[in-house]
Amino acid sequence: MGPRIFSLNLIKEIEKQTEMKKKKIVIVGPAYPYRGGNALFISHLYDQLIKHFDVTVLNYSLLYPSFLFPGTTQFDKSNNTLSSVKSERIVNSISPLSWFKTANRIKQVNPDLVVFDWWHPFFSFCHYSISNILKKHFGKKILFITENVISHESHFIDKILTRLGLSNASSFLALSKKVEEDLSGISHSRKVYRSELPVYDCYDIDESSKEREITHRFFQASDFVLLFFGYIRKYKGLDLLLEAMPLIAKSIPNAKLLVVGESYDDFSIYEKMVEEMGIRDSVKLENRFVANEEVGNYYSQCDLVVLPYRSATQSGILNVAYGFLKPVLATNVGGLAEFIDEEQTGIVVNPNSPEAIAEGVSRFFQLRNETDFKKNIANKISKNQFSDIAELFSKIISEAT
């Protein structure tokens, strides 16, 4: 038994030493129980990094004050949790006391890299204050992941706040070419790294179902279904898509539109458009947040996901569509086009034009029987840059020392 005990002890010691050698990363960003694309991104980032690093996620105790949040709730009320990210809810976006507490917690961990998830200038004072306290101690070890640089519905003050919020970054990680270009005006000599949003293939779907379970009371199984999914805001161009529907119907009589998502605008505007344009029989509107366990059902019903955005950087909705191997039609704004292989994984059209949207839908309708969109999407997502995110973080850490 002596040699066996020695071997087991040696193995345990090696495992212990290996664990001790793991580089430490602290991520400041939203995670469960918060909902939405930012929390989903952090969960995927955590899942990739935890395999190779010692990762601490400092989550928000308060993300947005309730009076500033336009939706019904900031929290994920789904029955199915997509990720079990272990996090510490310590950051209060409007409490300077918590900013000092967060900075002290980061100093206590003493990571090799501090990562801030940036997407909106509302967090400028919070992120600036925490990173400013850390700057002297961590120097080149402060990375800002920029999902957006300037928010979609920005004002002049947003640019000032963004410059403040990002001022202590020693380096940046852009998730699209558009964001990389936006950073060029403020990054100066600071390094800008590149990756992509992950493909969100984390939702359940019943491929064996032949019936349109969600829409069967409104659409027929033979209908050609377009899907507009996610938060509804003016910059996302739902009104343009509604205006395109009568034009689409001329070439595709069985075309139907399913709109599913919680509106942050006055939703009656869209309901009124449907009535006035006489498209009530071809448009289904569901103004509500969709729980995780329901998402797959909606995507499984559609033939084409439509993103008629007026502005964008990248889109989690596009990456969810790819997760279900669904083709997309998107306007040529921001970084959307760079994630679409024209007439292979989707269609790119000019923005702000119902006519262009209608022409693009008709083009896809004609191509779908001769082009294997599903196979093309599967091939594209196999090359998604996010799969190499751990290797990229190793590079960032090595260059920060």
Q: Is 128 helix (H, G, I), strand (E, B) or coil?
A: helix
CB count in 10 Å sphere of residue 345: 25
Rounded CA-CA distance 260/286 in Å is: 5
The per-residue pLDDT for 203 is 78
Q: Does 152 have pLDDT greater than 70?
A: no
- Per-residue pLDDT at 80 exceeds 70: yes
pLDDT score for 20 = 58
Q: Give the Å distances, CA to CA, from 360 to 2, 49, 248, 249, 369.
A: 73, 39, 9, 13, 15
Confidence of residue 37 (pLDDT cuts 50, 70, 90): confident
* pLDDT at residue 235 is higher than 60: yes
Report the chain's mean pLDDT, rounded to a whole number.
Answer: 89
The DSSP code sequence of 211-275 is: S-TTTTTTS-TTSEEEEEES-B-GGG-HHHHHHHHHHHHHH-TTEEEEEES-BSS-THHHHHHHH
| Cα end-to-end span (Å), the chain | 45
Tell me the chain's radius of gyration from C-alpha atoms. Answer: 23
**Best CA proximity match to 118, nearest among 25, 50, 28:** 28
Q: pLDDT grade, residue 14 (50/70/90)?
A: very low
The structural domains of the chain, ordered by start, are: 13-198+385-400 (3.40.50.2000), 224-381 (3.40.50.2000)
The answer to whether residues 63 and 93 touch, using CB atoms and an 8 Å cutoff, is: yes
Q: Which helix (H) or strand (E) holds 276?
A: helix 268-276
Residue among 202, 180, 204, 206 at smallest CA distance from 191? 180
Q: How many residues belong to the chain? A: 401
The mean per-residue pLDDT over the stretch 205-222 comes to 57
CB 202 within 8 Å of CB 192: no
Cβ count within 10 A of residue 318: 25
